[in-house]
Amino acid sequence: MLNLKFIQDNPELVVEKLNRKNFDASEIVGQIIDLYRQKNKLQNQADEAKAEMNKISKEIGQLFREGKTEEANTAKERTSQLKENIRKVDEQFGGIETRVNELLVQLPNLPHESVPEGKGEEDNEVVTSKGELPKMADDVLPHWELAQKYNLIDFELGVKLTGAGFPVYRGKGSQLQRALINFFLDEARKAGYEEVQPPLVVNEASGFGTGQLPDKEGQMYHITGDNLYLIPTAEVPVTNIYRDVILDAKNLPYKNTAYSACFRREAGSYGKDVRGLNRLHQFDKVEVVQIAHPDKSYEVLDEMVKHVASLVEKLELPYRVLRLCGGDISFTAALTYDFEVYSAAQKKWLEVSSVSNFESFQANRLKLRFREEGVRKPQLAHTLNGSALALPRIVAALLENNQTPEGIKIPKVLVPYCGFERID
């Protein structure tokens, strides 16, 4: 959530910056400014009423002592009227605060100055590209056919048990999944991240804290009976560990990693581009989260990007890194880098990670602060997270890029985790 004082002090700048996200904030910002003008006017009325009431209260006792009972009673009636006026002002205050908060949660985070302009993914900027694209025969199979051929993933059984987008992994397919999860967690631990195992459902406060709620796109599964939500990513529970907390600045950054299943409704996702593992309602992912000092958060972002790059390189996959444009960056992010790996059979790039700096946007919602030594007032921290990595499209690329007439080769780094060198 944007800082209210910043909006009040810089309304034109907020509107200008959010235009880069293709979001017209002029009406909302205008309403917020008008509401706070009303609040300031009411505050002046309340202050004047309280000052008059304090003055009269001091006079009442003196009037009674002087025997001026009628004047004293008139003064008491006036204080009662002033109290009622103050009560009505407080009610109006509450209404204004509620309306301001309703408006504030509609405003996206401000994009970082390096975010390129653009309307959609076609305008994202490629900043890095590494690895040679595999040269494959014309008859290579897409991963959904390889999964069937080697009995790795049963998509039809998933439809029977639950519905489309909930695959069942079997045999070496299950082992490959587990191998990737353990590899990603071990690499995160080596990089200094503390592993946590969070719940897969969260309450409304947690969803609001990281910006998933209000859910404008209908992406979250809602457990209506208990008013809980299935997590779309481990970012939500892990970041919320620090909700309503004041951290010690000398311990920043805080680093956590977590494996979890993730659940996304992905409403309206149909067609050939979402076949197989390309888009699922349930999938596995290892997440990395950092809580950083505002002065260091972009150094931390670079560190996290390097960490994700190291994972993809160890898996021997060609990849590229994109800086997302204003029209493609998320509601909550200030700057995001997407990682894509190349799919040999589908002949396209598949997104496998997003690494983002949210600056103080989530922290403001979470009331996540830190205190510097010798500084009385706590400051908002910066939050960052990244997929390290999401499994479905990694598995798709590994299967497609490593297929041979003898079977599917396993990258060397995964062999100790899998216990086999080839799927045949």
What number of other Cβ atoms are within 10 A of residue 186's Cβ?
Answer: 13
Q: Is 44 annotated as a binding residue?
A: no
Classified as helix, coil or strand, 201 is strand
Helix (H, G, I), strand (E, B) or coil at 156: helix
Token pair listed for 312: 């993809």
Structure tokens at 179: 């191998």
266 is in an annotated binding site: yes
Strand order in the sheet with 407-409: 403-404, 407-409, 422-423
Question: Quick one: tokens of 214?
Answer: 């209000």
Q: How far is CA 97 from the centre of its chain?
A: 25
State yes or no: 233 annotated in a binding site. yes
Is 156 annotated as ligand-binding? Answer: no
Contact 50, 86 (CB under 8 A): yes
Query: Is residue 352 a known part of a binding site?
Result: yes
Residue 98 assigned to a binding site: no
Q: Give Cβ neighbours of residue 393 (< 8 Å, ≥ 6 apart).
A: 277, 278, 341, 343, 350, 351, 352
**Is 227 assigned a ligand-binding role in the annotation?**
no
CA-CA distance, 234 to 248, in Å (whole number)? Answer: 24
Residue 385 annotated as part of some ligand binding site = yes
Q: Measure the CA–CA gap between 407 and 128, rounded to whole angstroms.
A: 31
Q: Is 187 annotated as a binding residue?
A: no
The CA distance from 287 to 194, in Å, is 11
**From CA 189, how far away is CA 256, in angstroms rounded?**
9
Question: Is 287 annotated among the ligand-binding residues?
Answer: yes
Distance CA(163)–CA(267), nearest Å, equals: 14
Question: Token digits for 406?
Answer: 């003898």
Binding site as annotated, residues for L-serine:
233, 264, 287, 385
Binding site as annotated, residues:
233, 264-266, 287, 351-354, 385
Binding site as annotated, residues for ATP:
264-266, 351-354
